[in-house]
Amino acid sequence: MDIATTPTSPEGNPELADAAPTPHDPPVIRREDYQPFPWIVPQTELEFVLGIDSTRVTSRLTIKRNPETESISPELRLNGDGIKTDMVMIDGARFGDWSMDEGDLLVNLPGESHTVEIVTHIDPSANTALMGLFASNGMLCTQCEAEGFRRITFFPDRPDVLSTYRVKMSGPKDLFPILLCNGNKVAEGDGNDGTHWAEWHDPWPKPSYLFALVAGDLVANSAPFTTQSGREVECNVWVREEDLARTDHALQSLHRSMKWDEETFGREYDLDLYNIVAVSDFNMGAMENKGLNVFNTKYVLADPDTATDADFDAVEGVIAHEYFHNWSGNRVTCRDWFQLSLKEGFTVLRDQLFSQDMQGEAVKRIEDVRILRAAQFPEDAGPLAHPIRPDSYREISNFYTATVYNKGAEVIRMMRTMAGAEDFRAGTDLYFDRHDGEAATCEDFITAIEDGAGLELAQFRRWYRQAGTPRIEVSQKLGDGDGLDVTFRQTVPDTPGQKNKGAMHIPLRVAVHCRETGALGEEQLIELRHDEQTISLPLAGPVPVLSINRGFTAPVIIERELESEDLVFLAAKDDDPFARYEALQDLAVRHLVAAASRELDQAGRAEGKRLVCDAFRSILSDPALDHSMRGELMMLPSETYLFEAMAGSDPAGIRKAEPLEIHKEREQLKTAIGVTLKRELESLYAQVADIPYDDPAGRGARKVKTQIAALFAASDPERAAVMASRQFDQADNMTDRQGALMVLCGLQHPAREERLQAFYDRYQGNALVIDKWFTLQALSLHPEVLSHVKTLAEHADFTMKNPNRVRSLYMAFAGNPQGFHAQDGSGYRMIADVILALDPINPQTAARFVSPLGKWRRIESVKAGLMKAELERIAVTEGLSRDTFEQVSRSLD
Ligand code: PHE
Ligand code: ZN
């Protein structure tokens, strides 16, 4: 099966049909066109003379012809983006034989090896895209992945060109007392006029995307780590002085990650220094630059007064993720950007396994699946669907996706499930051994796992090539002997550029229980390989109930006719915690999708609610559950997940999602639960209300508390207002405070404005907490949410220049069906306006707002038309960035 991604095919898109390709139509890069670079760059020397609005960069590259290529062309192509040079020096002398091609510098070199010296001038303060060297809060900082290095200096800016870096930087000592770069500091000193300088050397060859430099007024929280072989590593978390008190958790998380990677994957750190720097203006979560990670403050700073339990977990997870990249990403890097999942999928799996060990396996697994379903399943079902190893792109920044990251992790997790943890480890050992110091491919990874773990993955490779979430239809009948014959019929849906896909190799953990005796069947691992196949499974008793995809072994959608009583049984009794969660979700999804599609009469509606309430009751009172798990099980399926279930549950594709109906039905279900289980919820609340913050059961208690208040908000708003106000006023931590405020934000009650103001006053000036304040209002269930967001956009604290702030308001809003899907289309218009306003400032972040509008095909026709019209309005705008252009044209195709 092969994929032809044609550049904006005119079919079905009359607006673009006769538009000739313009300079705005950027070229398509294809995986199959990969060619090794004809030169190698053993050494790179950089010299930075730093200034906020003017920085001079001198680069000295040692280059040689690449012995592994046959190219005899004299041309050396050095990538550049928005930079220029006045002069090129070759082997120490001025050289005239060069030219520019788009942004790139082409030099015609006569010999086999040379030194190339180039000077560029850049203005970090004007860099609002936050790629390359930029200014943030008075400091200077870089972001080079994927193609930001070319905004600093001319270089073969591709991950398969590895070089050893020596970097000297100088600048005013008062503005930049701290000067950091990759590797180790080898020299420093004072210069003239209040300047100082530092020289850094990184002994590990690396691609340019892992380069980093930071200069600023920073302080560190430091603690050494002793590695398994007894080396001492200095670990620093660098922040602005006022944030120092909130860095302990990050530092401890780093130490835990270092230890865990030694124990679990046998990976030891390889420098004497590990620096983490927190910056407040950052497009992504964090970046794994060698020895100098740069982090969004959101994933560094945490204390109980300002960070929720979820924030603490996120800090730990992202610190681990970046640390784990030191092996899966840095020591073994990617050959080209199509291989992105090689480092990202694997590293996400590694951070998930780490967090499972730190935070508890069952709850963490449920959370990861929830993220996958909320972010990746919709992507796989929409116009931006792509395989975890894409075949083409125009702008690589658009492929840092839930598919490459999270589905990528699921794919590797399946290998681990099939091999078992121990053999999988043999596979990863072999992978690291074989490819240490190299730029590798996904294929290299798969082969190493095959060889090291003893798996056969020929058919399994389709997971790398085929986009779309497989659907498995499951039916069952009692067999002749004492088995249950289960038939599996799998399909992989068509996705852009891909049709008629082959059957996937899918591992599923299954068990057959008995509903009558309550006997639990033994779990086994089965592997599907065919479009259709029947497998006989042993029975545990006379009334079989199949428990399937336990632990969510495979990222698939299971479709089956199951009696509701079976789901109730699984929700209450299954010994696999994920299966229990899943049964409850299924029960709610079935009811809500049927109700939102107007397929239920009064009696059917009542029956559906009754079943969910019954299952809920068993969750509320089950003494075997800890509160963390209870809180997890109490979460109703998200509206995004229901959207997917509704738009995807009709095989003919005729049924469309109706987000406002989904929203209404989900609220009604919450009301029913709140009314029916009032007594149970009250007594549970009383049980958990006073568990102290530091108690081992504290976290779970906080989760349960807020869930209960949220249910009462639907069933008894007055009661909820009192409950949440009290929780807010008495809170000694952010989790309780934010949870309470979230509930209040959805109510039309004077307590809402009072507590919002109190929260603002308390945290004014703390950017991360003020982000929460924006988000809570943009996500709220309040009927006036759209006008609230408009007002908030005018707030003195709002700015389009800070990605966290933009996301805190508008990403939250785009995920709020009530506002975003407003009948008259004003929610769509607002997001389209944001894209157009943000695109010239920060294209990477702007392009991320396209996908909510890209859901138009799966939504009922009136709204679909309104959404499409907004996409078309963006598409015809002059001067769009490559990022936004690509996402908008894919969304309209
Ligand atoms: N490589 C980073 C990570 O996943 C993500 C990132 C990509 C950060 C691009 C910045 C820019 O850890
Ligand atoms: Zn990563």
Per-residue pLDDT reduced to its tens digit, 696-721: 999 999 999 999 999 999 999 999 99
Residue 132, beta-bridge partner list? 143
How far does Cα 888 stand from its chain's mean position? 21
Cα(692)–Cα(372) distance, integer angstroms: 32
Q: What is the largest CA-CA distance in the chain?
A: 91
Provide φ and ψ at 245, rounded to 5°: -65, -10
Q: Which residue's CA is minimally distant from atom 9 of ligand 1?
A: 145
Residue 256, SS3? helix
Which of 36-40, 595-599, 651-655, 678-682 bottoms out in mean pLDDT, i.e. has the lowest?
A: 651-655
Indicate if the pLDDT at residue 482 is higher than 50.
yes
DSSP track, 294-348: EEEGGGT---TTT--HHHHHHHHHHHHHHHHTTTBTTTBEESSGGGHHHHHHHHH
Q: Which helix (H) or strand (E) holds 734?
A: helix 734-745
Ligand 1: atom nearest CA of 325 is 12
Q: What is the DSSP letter of 126?
A: G
Q: Which helix (H) or strand (E) holds 709?
A: helix 698-715
| pLDDT reported for residue 25 | 86
Residue 178, SS3? strand
**Sequence-distant (≥ 6) Cβ neighbours of residue 227 within 8 angstroms:** 233, 258, 262, 268, 269
Beta strands in 394-531 (DSSP E): 439-440, 471-478, 483-491, 506-514, 524-528
Average pLDDT over residues 808-832: 97
Per-residue pLDDT reduced to its tens digit, 206-217: 999 999 999 999
Q: Which of 45, 145, 288, 322 is catalytic?
A: 322
Q: Which residue's CA is minimally distant from atom 2 of ligand 1?
A: 287
Residue 483, SS3? strand
Which chain residues have CB less than 5 Å from ligand 2, an ion?
A: 344, 347
Query: How many Å lie between the centroid of ligand 1 and the Cα of residue 408?
Result: 15
DSSP track, 456-467: --TGGGHHHH--
Query: How many Å lie between the centroid of ligand 1 and the Cα of residue 290?
Result: 13
Provide φ and ψ at 338, rounded to 5°: -65, -20
**Sequence-distant (≥ 6) Cβ neighbours of residue 107 within 8 angstroms:** 75, 76, 78, 88, 90, 95, 97, 98, 116
Cα(552)–Cα(371) distance, integer angstroms: 13
Per-residue pLDDT reduced to its tens digit, 250-270: 999 999 999 999 999 999 999
Query: Is any atom of ligand 1 closer than 6 Å to the C-beta of 288?
Result: yes
Higher pLDDT, 652 or 203: 203
Query: Is any atom of ligand 1 closer than 6 Å to the C-beta of 404?
Result: no
Strand pairing category for 178-181 and 55-65? unpaired
What's the sign of the alpha-carbon dihedral 155, 157, 163, 168? positive
pLDDT band at 14 (very low <50, low <70, confident <90, very high): very low
Average pLDDT over residues 170-191: 98
Indicate if the pLDDT at residue 274 is higher than 90.
yes
| pLDDT reported for residue 3 | 34
CB 264 within 8 A of CB 355: no
Q: Which residue's CA is minimally distant from atom 8 of ligand 1?
A: 287
Query: Is any atom of ligand 1 closer than 6 Å to the C-beta of 348?
Result: no
Query: Which single residue is written with the structure tokens 């960069």?
Result: 57
| pLDDT reported for residue 10 | 34
Average pLDDT over residues 809-835: 97
Indicate if the pLDDT at residue 649 is higher than 90.
no
Query: How many Å lie between the centroid of ligand 1 and the Cα of residue 281?
Result: 14
Average pLDDT over residues 81-98: 96
Average pLDDT over residues 656-680: 97
Mutate to test the pocket of ligand 1, among 141, 142, 145 (most ligand atoms within 8 A of CB): 145
Indicate if the pLDDT at residue 654 is higher than 90.
no
| pLDDT reported for residue 273 | 98
Indicate if the pLDDT at residue 100 is higher than 60.
yes
Beta strands in 27-162 (DSSP E): 29-30, 39-49, 55-65, 75-78, 88-90, 93-95, 98-101, 104-108, 113-122, 132-136, 139-143
CB 435 within 8 A of CB 408: no
Q: What is the DSSP letter of 349?
A: H
Cα(882)–Cα(876) distance, integer angstroms: 14
Average pLDDT over residues 652-679: 94
How far does Cα 293 stand from its chain's mean position? 18
CA proximity to 296, closest of 803, 646, 860: 803
DSSP track, 360-413: -HHHHHHHHHHHIIIIIHHHHTSTT---SS-SEES-GGGG-SHIIIIIHHHHHH
Cα(165)–Cα(168) distance, integer angstroms: 10
pLDDT band at 652 (very low <50, low <70, confident <90, very high): low
Query: How many Å lie between the centroid of ligand 2 and the Cα of residue 45?
Result: 27
* Three-state DSSP string of 574-632: CCCHHHHHHHHHHHHHHHHHHHHCCCCCHHHHHHHHHHHHHHHHHHHHCCCCCHHHHHH
Strand pairing category for 104-108 and 39-49? unpaired
Indicate if the pLDDT at residue 645 is higher than 80.
yes
Residue 220, beta-bridge partner list? 238
CA proximity to 187, closest of 204, 157, 164, 166: 166
Average pLDDT over residues 111-120: 97
Q: Which residue's CA is minimally distant from atom 11 of ligand 1?
A: 145
pLDDT band at 24 (very low <50, low <70, confident <90, very high): low
CA angle, 162 as apex, 156 and 167 as ends, to 5°?
Answer: 85
Provide the token pair at 561. 């006719």
How far does Cα 252 stand from its chain's mean position? 23
pLDDT band at 758 (very low <50, low <70, confident <90, very high): very high
Per-residue pLDDT reduced to its tens digit, 349-388: 999 999 999 999 999 999 999 999 999 999 999 999 999 9
Q: Which residue's CA is minimally distant from atom 1 of ligand 1?
A: 287
**Sequence-distant (≥ 6) Cβ neighbours of residue 583 within 8 angstroms:** 567, 568, 569, 570, 571, 574, 615
pLDDT band at 17 (very low <50, low <70, confident <90, very high): very low
| pLDDT reported for residue 480 | 83
Which of 2-11, 634-643, 879-888 bottoms out in mean pLDDT, i.e. has the lowest?
A: 2-11
End-to-end CA distance of the chain: 21
What's the sign of the alpha-carbon dihedral 651, 655, 659, 665? negative
**551 Ramachandran zone, left/alpha/beta (phi>0; psi -120 to 50):** left
Q: What is the pTM of this model?
A: 0.97
DSSP track, 137-150: TTEEEEE-TTTTGG
Average pLDDT over the chain, rounded to an integer: 96
Query: How many Å lie between the centroid of ligand 1 and the Cα of residue 582?
Result: 31
Query: Which single residue is written with the structure tokens 């999804």?
Result: 589
pLDDT band at 19 (very low <50, low <70, confident <90, very high): very low
Query: Is any atom of ligand 1 closer than 6 Å to the C-beta of 395?
Result: no
Query: How many Å lie between the centroid of ligand 1 and the Cα of residue 101?
Result: 28
Provide the token pair at 436. 């240490």
Query: Is any atom of ligand 1 closer than 6 Å to the C-beta of 321?
Result: yes
Q: Is 322 a catalytic residue?
A: yes
pLDDT band at 766 (very low <50, low <70, confident <90, very high): very high
Query: Is any atom of ligand 1 closer than 6 Å to the C-beta of 736?
Result: no
Ligand 1: atom nearest CA of 148 is 11
CA atoms in the 13 A half-sphere facing the CB of 879: 6
